Amino acid sequence: MKKLILVVAFTVFTSSIVLSQEVESEQMEAPSDYVISLVSLCKDYAAEEEVEKADTDKFILICINDELEESDYKPVNSLPKEE
């Protein structure tokens, strides 16, 4: 009985990993102009939240990736350069 439970748990676990990898690979990169607009939006959020200057870039990157995730886009690894 214990072996059956372990097998079922392992199967569920591996299935969820495979599914999450498939979903991640289906995400597209966001258009650069959209990401740039998110920088501006997230800077406004940082000002409203009174984020300390030393933490602003980290806050903005997290904010951008949260917004991208909500729109089913791939996250970015660094802040884009504003034009």
Check pLDDT > 60 for residue 70.
yes
Tally of domains in the chain: 1
Instruction: Determine, yes or no, domain membership for 80.
Output: no
Higher pLDDT, 3 or 40: 40
Instruction: Determine, yes or no, domain membership for 36.
Output: yes
d(C-alpha 70, C-alpha 55), whole Å: 23
Section 45-53 average pLDDT: 95
Q: Please, what is the Cα angle at 26 between 75 and 42, to 5 degrees?
A: 20
pLDDT tens column, 11-44: 666 666 655 555 555 889 999 999 999 999 999 9
Check pLDDT > 70 for residue 83.
no
Instruction: Determine, yes or no, domain membership for 78.
Output: no
Contacts of 33 by beta carbon, 8 Å cutoff, 6+ apart: none
Whole-model pTM: value is 0.66
Q: How many CB atoms lie within 10 A of CB 80?
A: 15
Q: How many CB atoms lie within 10 A of CB 38?
A: 22
Residue 21 sits in which domain range? 2-70
